[in-house]
Amino acid sequence: MIPTGAMASRDRLALPYWKKHLVAFGFDIVAFTGTVPFLFVLVWMLLGSFKTQLQNTAIPPLLVFQPTLGNYRAVLTEMPILQFFVNSLIVGVGSTGLGLLAGLPAAFSIARHQQTRLGMAILAARMMPGISYLIPWFILFTQLKLIGTYPGVTLSHLTVTMPLIIWIMIGFFEDLPSELHEAALIDGCSVYGAFWRIALPLVKPGIVAAGILAFIFSWNNFMLTLILGGNAVRTLPVVIYSFISYTQIDWGRLNATAMLVTLPVLVLTLVVQRHITAGLTLGGVKS
């Protein structure tokens, strides 16, 4: 039975029905306010993709206009957009796969052995500007003849995907009871056997969330691919840059290509948002 004092305390902490709805409404307002800038950019980009160059540069901006599909038609027919899509897919899947392959054991080791300094070093490396890696990568890849190749661009994206995966997964591995790992070792499993057979199956939601977020970050990466990919490996974000010249910006085609780049990521996020939310929430709950 619950003590009377505890029940009274719980009743005092419980909010009235109208206050609960008021708090929920307040959170909804804050969330909507935070998403307004992102929705504005998305809507503006969508409208611009259906405008001509003259309509896009009109002052004041035109909100009512005759839409055109010419920008999408030009992008899809005059450019090898499918090849750029394949390039983005290969690099994104490759860097995410390699990031998981190297990041999961690293996160497990940091969590189990309390390697705080190593974790902070990885975090510091992730916080450094991406341009800091360009010169070392460029010199190394030039010597190895990896400039303008899939392996070169994929390896460079590890500086984006692997730290992200490691820091997401550290929380999941820390939540696992140490008794499970120790019992596996007593039963004859090696350290790697306990990792593959015991730890990984228990953190599948985190792996899914980390993998999806790493893929999105790789898909949207621009600077590393622009310098190290060259003309041979051009991904979709790099293609957008080609519509910017010294004399003018082709706003219609730029917005149309930006929508084609954003659409796969947007659809992927909407489809797997439950997995991302569930995975990150699970990793943030301490037992």
The model's pLDDT over 20-45, given as tens digits with 9 standing for 90+, comes to 777 777 777 887 787 888 888 888 88
The better pLDDT of the pair 285, 258 is held by 258
Calculate the average pLDDT of the chain.
Answer: 82
Confidence of residue 11 (pLDDT cuts 50, 70, 90): very low
In DSSP terms, which residues pair with 249 in a beta bridge?
A: 244
Distance CA(196)–CA(81), nearest Å, equals: 40
- Whether the pLDDT of residue 182 is over 90: the answer is no
Average pLDDT over residues 199-226: 87
The better pLDDT of the pair 14, 89 is held by 89
Please report the pLDDT score of residue 8 as a whole number.
Answer: 44
The better pLDDT of the pair 267, 276 is held by 267
Task: Say if residues 176 and 199 touch (Cβ distance below 8 Å).
Answer: yes
- Mind giving me the DSSP string for the chain? ---HHHHHHHHHHSPPHHHHHHHHHHHHHHHHHHHHHHHHHHHHHHHHHTS-HHHHT-SSPPSS----SHHHHHHHHHS-HHHHHHHHHHHHHHHHHHHHHHHHHHHHHHHHHT-HHHHHHHHHHHHS-GGGGHHHHHHHHHHTT-TTSHHHHHHHTHHHHHHHHHHHHHHHHHHS-HHHHHHHHHTT--HHHHIIIIIHHHTHHHHHHHHHHHHHHHHT--HHHHHHHTTTS--HHHHHHTTB-SS-B-HHHHHHHHHHHHHHHHHHHHHHHHHHHHHHHHHH---
- Provide the 10 A C-beta neighbour count for residue 167: 17
Average pLDDT over residues 108-123: 82
Q: Is the pTM of this model over 0.85?
A: no
In DSSP terms, which residues pair with 244 in a beta bridge?
A: 249
Residues 206-231 as b or e (16 or more Cβ within 10 Å = b): bbebbbbbbbbbbbbbeebbebbbee
Distance CA(7)–CA(5), nearest Å, equals: 5
Confidence of residue 287 (pLDDT cuts 50, 70, 90): very low
Structural domain spans, the chain? 4-49, 73-284
Instruction: Give the domain 73-284 fold.
Output: MetI-like fold (1.10.3720)
Distance CA(280)–CA(277), nearest Å, equals: 5
The better pLDDT of the pair 116, 280 is held by 116
